[in-house]
Amino acid sequence: MGPQMRAEIRPSQTLSPRLQRAVQLLQMPSLDFAALVRQKLGENPFLEGEDESDAAVDPHETGPLDAREDEGEGPGSAAPEAANTVWDEGVRRDGADDRDLWMQDAVNGSRAASDGELSAMEMTASETTLAMHLHGQLNVMALTERDLCLARGVVESLDDDGYLRTPLEDIADVIPCEPPASAQDMLVALRLVQSLEPAGVAARGVGECLALQVRQMEDGPCRELAERIVNEHLDALAARDIPGLASVLRVPAARVEAVVDRIRHLDPRPGWRVGNSRIDYVVPDVIVRRQRGQWSVQLNPAVVPRVRLNQVYADLFQRHRSRQNGELGEQLQDARWTLRNVEQRFATILDVAQAIVQRQRHFLEFGPMAMKPLVLREIAEEVGVHESTVSRVTSNKHMATPLGVFELKYFFSRPMVSAAGNACSGTAIRGLIGDIIQAEDSTRPLSDAEITRQLSTQGLVVARRTVTKYRQLLRIEPVDKRRRHA
C-alpha cells in the first residue's frame, strides 16, 4: 500500500476580507477608530461631517463627534489670515511640516490674529527641557565666560534622567577654550552644575544623586545619618535591611527606619521633574450615571465620530452612473460600509456596557467588595453575540463610573466558591486582602500564609499563591518590607 491522494468536499466557514476588517475595527480603541473615520472623511467624497445645528444632539444624550475640525471649521483650525501671512513671508520651506512652522513662529515671536484676538501660536505652551532650565539658572549667575562655557558643556552632556554618563575628560576635549580645560576645571564646572535645581542633577550615579539631595535635609542628625547610609551602605539601603543597618551603624532600628523612609522618598531621576512629558489620558467609551435611583449607560459623545452620507453626491452618482465611474461606485459602497460599521460598533459597545452595569450594579453602589463573578459567556448570551465578540468589545474600552474609570475587562472575574457554597469574584477577594493589610499592625505585619488563614476563617478557601498574586496586583510590598520598628 502506497500513499494515495483524494479530493473531498467539506463545508467550512471562512471570513471574508470585509468581515475580517469589521472584526478588527470592533477591537480597535475608540480614539483610533475615530481617527480612521476622520481619515475616511478626507478621502471619500460621499462622506461628510455633521454640523451641530443639523445634529441637534443633547450633550446628555448619545451623539456623534463633531467633525468640523477636519473640514477647517472647528476651534482647532488656524485663522486664514494667519495662514496667508505665513505663506507670504516665505517661512514655509519645501519638506517642512506644521510642527516646524509652529516652532519657528514661536522663536520669531507670537503673532496676533487680524481681528485683535490671540492667535493659536500665542496659546501654545512652550516646551521647557532640562537643558533650557539649567541654562536659565547659569545665565543669572556671576560667572566668567570660561566658567560659563565649561558649565554649559556639562549641561549639554546630561541625559534625560539628569545623569552625567560622559566622562569629564571627553567633555573637555570638545569644549573650545584656551587654554584647554584641566581635570580640576571640569570638576569645578561639575560641582557648579550640581548646585543647580533640581537637586541631584548632573550626578554620575545613583549614590551621588541621592547624596546631593540628602545635603538639603534641614534636620542635622538625620542628614548625617542619611549621608552615612547613602555613601557607605547603599546595597543595604536597596535591600531595606533595617536590622543590618542598625547593627552596623549602632543606631536604634526605629531611627534607621525613619531615615531610610526619607531617603526612599528622594527622586532617583531628577531630570524627569523638568520638561513636558507626554501623558496618555484615558478617554472613556461609555459613561455611567445614576438617575432617579437607576443606573443609566450612555456613549461618550467625544469618541463617537459624527459622520453621515452626502446624499446630494450619492443621488447625482446614481442618476449619472456609468461603467466609467467604477471607482466612484466603490467609494460609495465603502462610505455606506463605513457608516454601517460605525453604527454597529457603538451599538454593540453600548449593549455590552448595559449588560455589565445591570449585573455589577452592586459594585457601583458599594465598591469592589460587592463585585460579582462574571464571565464572557453570560454577557454574550444576554446580548446575543459570540463570546469572541464580547472579548473584542471589552478590549481597550473603558467605562467612566462614579468610582473612577475602569476597563471593561475589569468587571470580569472567574467565580471562586466559598466554604458555604457561595460564589465570589476575585476582585472582591482582592479588595478584602487590601482591607486586611491596611488594618494590620505595622510592627507585626501579616504574611501571605496568615492572610490565607484569615480568609479561611471567613469561609473563603484561597491558596497562598493566589493571595501572593493578588497582593502583587495591589502593589503591596511583602511582609519583611512592610514591617515597622517601634
pLDDT of residue 353: 94
What's the CATH number for 415-482?
1.10.10.60
- 286-291 vs 294-299, strand pairing mode: antiparallel
Q: Counting beta carbons within 10 angstroms of the beta carbon of residue 138, is it exposed (0 to 12), middle (13 to 18) or buried (19 or more)? A: middle
Averaged pLDDT, 197-221? 87
Per-residue model confidence as pLDDT tens digits over 239-264 = 888 888 888 888 888 888 888 888 88
Report the DSSP beta bridge partners of residue 415.
425
Q: Counting beta carbons within 10 angstroms of the beta carbon of residue 98, is it exposed (0 to 12), middle (13 to 18) or buried (19 or more)? A: exposed
Q: Which secondary-structure segment (H or E) carries 253?
A: helix 253-264
> Which own/partner pairs from 94-102 qualify as long-range (CB within 8 Å, at least 24 positions apart)?
none
Averaged pLDDT, 172-178? 83
Averaged pLDDT, 271-292? 81
Averaged pLDDT, 439-452? 87
Per-residue model confidence as pLDDT tens digits over 148-173 = 888 898 999 998 888 998 888 888 88
Confidence of residue 287 (pLDDT cuts 50, 70, 90): very high
pLDDT of residue 352: 93
Averaged pLDDT, 474-479? 86
Domain ranges of the chain: 130-273, 415-482
- For residue 460, give the 3-state DSSP assignment: coil
What 8-state DSSP symbol labels residue 305?
B
In this predicted structure, the answer to whether residue 143 has a pLDDT above a threshold of 70 is yes
Confidence of residue 118 (pLDDT cuts 50, 70, 90): low
Distance (Å, whole) CA 270 – CA 234: 18
In this predicted structure, the answer to whether residue 483 has a pLDDT above a threshold of 70 is yes
- The DSSP annotation for 73-125 comes to -STTSPPHHHHHHHHHTT---TT--HHHHHHHHHHH-----TTSSPPTTTTSP
Residue closest to 124 by CA, chosen among 141, 137, 106, 142 = 106
In this predicted structure, the answer to whether residue 350 has a pLDDT above a threshold of 90 is yes
- DSSP H helices in 367-425: 376-383, 387-393
Averaged pLDDT, 53-77? 39
In this predicted structure, the answer to whether residue 191 has a pLDDT above a threshold of 70 is yes
Distance (Å, whole) CA 161 – CA 271: 4
- For residue 247, give the 3-state DSSP assignment: helix
Top mean pLDDT of 15-19, 99-103, 196-200 is at 196-200
Chain centroid to Cα 1, Å, comes to 64
Per-residue model confidence as pLDDT tens digits over 304-314 = 888 888 888 88
Of 416 and 383, more confident: 383
- For residue 283, give the 3-state DSSP assignment: coil
